[in-house]
Structure 1
């Protein structure tokens, strides 16, 4: 891309690797130069926490605010009742209103770590699309909004086409989702002057829909910007680890496990991840990425510290690093490891080591735990586990369990 941005925001997006595409670079750049631009990203409330896969666009909102603009986090209290079909093979499970509200509460705790909310010109806004979607009159909506959408064009979008090409069912409920998302952008522009929608590259069609609808209904010019699909250097989707999703809420994933996720980054990804997930200067990211041999591990520790500091705070980052050094360099136990607490009554007849590996989050199932033991991948107190039938009693506790070289948990008896 040869475009040379004038605004700080687009410059940051380009040099740090956030930018996949934009509907109109020049016009958006001019708007960003002219004043504080409100920009939003939408989040459906499908879980009680966001995960690392969301972190790229959360950082994008943070940079929007840091460069003098106004981020909007739009919670999908309305659209979650429908479910985004984009690039899914089946329909999402439908959630009731209470579950949606509970999930929104959990997700909001993460945004507060990265953004400053308030009433100032570039303070962030937390909004919920249930504000305008819950009260829609169906016939009015069809007449006023639905008439602007071509079914032929909607069928051509890759997110829909891929489902139909595989002859997988796409319900009318899901088909409405892209209309509702387009309507979100219209309402945000009408109510809050929002000029920009951002999202992953898989949202391009939905974003363009919203721009077209707003132009037709309000005759306003608004813009879209997308991020690239983020995968690791070995082709895996960002946000998953051997133990499952890397959650951002501390009650679903400890700060130590979060730190360890970043410490385990492959060498080839360090520079790219430093630019996206930390605020270190770009030239420093490039310097760290160029380290070779064992020195690249220093860059990984910096990545882990910086990412953990943003989410969990400086103390949590320092404690996680100290725990890692205690566990890996000194062979100790480390006070900040993920911990499974057992009640005395659970241990009357003993608990199987297989069950403990699962409950400690080191294996997803008993079958996986047994395979881990059979392949010499499990250890107890740093000694290889060879007996899948081993029973643990209260006299054996506390113990440290390990899966591979980098995943550990403590098991101890309740006080």
Structure 2
């Protein structure tokens, strides 16, 4: 299945903008009262909380649900590669695409290799640092691989096969901008946009009132995102754009441009912004990003992030970030209420998300790391790879050393600079400040013993005090 996805995936991008709540229709009141949509995809996604708003208002109740029921449609969502990884704040948008794909619709994940070099002003208080073309290309490549992995994991572990999946295509919007000249683009595309409308966007207004103002580059971002939607409409028949609620203004620009340029009808659906427990938007700007790439946030760290969510959030997050039936979510929450100490809902949430992002192996790795760190499991330590240990103790020094005959506890501690030289270091070991593989050692002159100090995988986890870890990989003579 993963191979079939990889073959069907191509490579691209684009992004987003602002919010005009008065011009959109809140789904919560719309789709609950529409008989056309009861038990349909939009109704289900709204009930899960995945969808927030829709536009244009005139067709939110009727035309869009009918369109989705009439046959397979094409839905797109854009991701600007301003970093080399997406984060949890982007995950809900990907999950939205997965729901559409599961319902048989075709999805486009558009990576903004071009628009990332311009910079979306939405939600920003100042202009982004300029992203070079080489950096945008490298970031795009990394994010493309991550998105393909998530779609593959979904197909492998979460799709029941009862309905044929829609196709998934990953694109890079640089592919349709690289041959445009600036004069030609402004002449053919720019004439469809009106300054008054562009200036009224929330993202523009907030920046114009700021001390730094807004550059022409940022101001044109909504034009490029609108053209992305138009291009996908013309080439792929895409009529639906999915994006964060902060993208509503940019999405409206796309809808207006398509209507003016071709007369076609297009629709926008927004998802809620994921925020931290203190209300901050999760992402790079807020500095609290939980990344989707393993080399930036390990499976263990992702697992622990969801495991540690407040009790008040876990039910909502189960509906948003998992594909569990709502009835099963309710059962989990009832079990959680009956015995909160077992944290069954938290564990299921963490497991489901980790498996979606990192696959079954990633989930098993997260559980091994959890057992090794929090349950002092020597067996879990023995089963861990070098990579997992380094992920688990990211700040811990990693040493490869020759295992010479007669190497003692004090020798190992000194070779990795874990203790001071001289009597003070010797005293620390004697007084029980040193632990090896979760076991306290109080004999400085004791020769290292295989299976006790050196695990079967050739590793030793050395701890001095409560938080100072050292990882030793022993090499045989």
Which band: TM-score by shorter chain?
Answer: 0.7 to 0.9
How large is the RMSD of aligned CA atoms in angstroms? 3.1
* Farther-moved stretch of structure 1 (219-228 vs 145-154): 145-154
The equivalences for 1:6-405 within 5 A come to 6=38, 8-23=40-55, 24-25=59-60, 26-115=62-151, 122-238=166-282, 244-290=288-334, 291-292=336-337, 294-295=340-341, 297-330=343-376, 334=381, 335=384, 336-337=388-389, 338-339=392-393, 340-343=396-399, 350=417, 398-400=461-463
1:316 to partner: Cα distance: 2.6
The SS at the match of 2:170 is strand
* 1:116-152 Cα deviation digits (max 9, x unpaired): 699x982111111112112212222222221221212
1:348 offset after TM fit, Å?
7.2
Work out which structure has the larger RCO, using CA pairs closer than 8 Å and 6 or more positions apart in sequence.
Answer: 2
Deviations 1:71-108 (A, max 9, x none): 10001111112111112111111222221111111111
- Give the secondary-structure state (helix, strand or coil) at the position aligned to 2:471: strand
- In structure 1, C-alpha distance between the alignment counterparts of 2:45 and 2:111, rounded to whole Å: 23
Q: Render the CA deviation track for 1:163-197: whole Å, top value 9, x for unaligned.
A: 12223221101111110100100001011111111
Q: Is the 8 A contact 1:78 1:130 kept in 2?
A: yes
Task: Quote the residue 1:361 is aligned against.
Answer: none
Distance, in Å, in 2 between the alignment partners of 1:264 and 1:276 is: 16
C-alpha distance 381-192 of structure 1, shift in aligned 2 (>3 A): farther
Unaligned runs of 5+ residues in structure 2 are 1-28, 156-163, 402-413, 421-432, 437-452, 454-459
Cα distance change, pair 261–381 in 1 and its aligned pair in 2 (3 A) = farther
Alignment CA distance shift 1:174-1:7 (3 Å): farther
1:3 correspondence with 2:59: no
Contact 2:251-2:268 at 8 Å conserved across structures: yes
User: Any unmatched runs of 5+ in structure 1?
Assistant: 354-378, 383-394
* Cα distance in 2, alignment partners of residues 329 and 51 from structure 1: 28
Q: CA deviation at 1:328?
A: 2.4
Could you tell me the TM-score, scaled by structure 1's length?
0.80
Deviations, residues 258-300 of structure 1 (Å, cap 9, x unaligned):
1111111110110111111111111111232342353461211
Assess if the C-alpha contact under 8 Å between 2:101 and 2:165 holds in 1. Answer: no
Structure 2 CA distance for partners of 1:380 and 1:268, relative to 1, 3 Å: farther
Output one character per residue of 1:371-396: Cα deviation in whole Å (capped at 9) or x when no partner. Answer: xxxxxxxx9969xxxxxxxxxxxx9x
CA distance, structure 2, for counterparts of residue 314 and residue 235 of structure 1: 31
Q: Is the 8 A contact 1:109 1:249 kept in 2?
A: no
Q: Which has the larger radius of gyration?
A: 2
Equivalent-residue separation in structure 1 for 2:67 and 2:342 (angstroms): 40
CA spacing shift, 1:243–1:165, aligned 2, 3 Å: closer
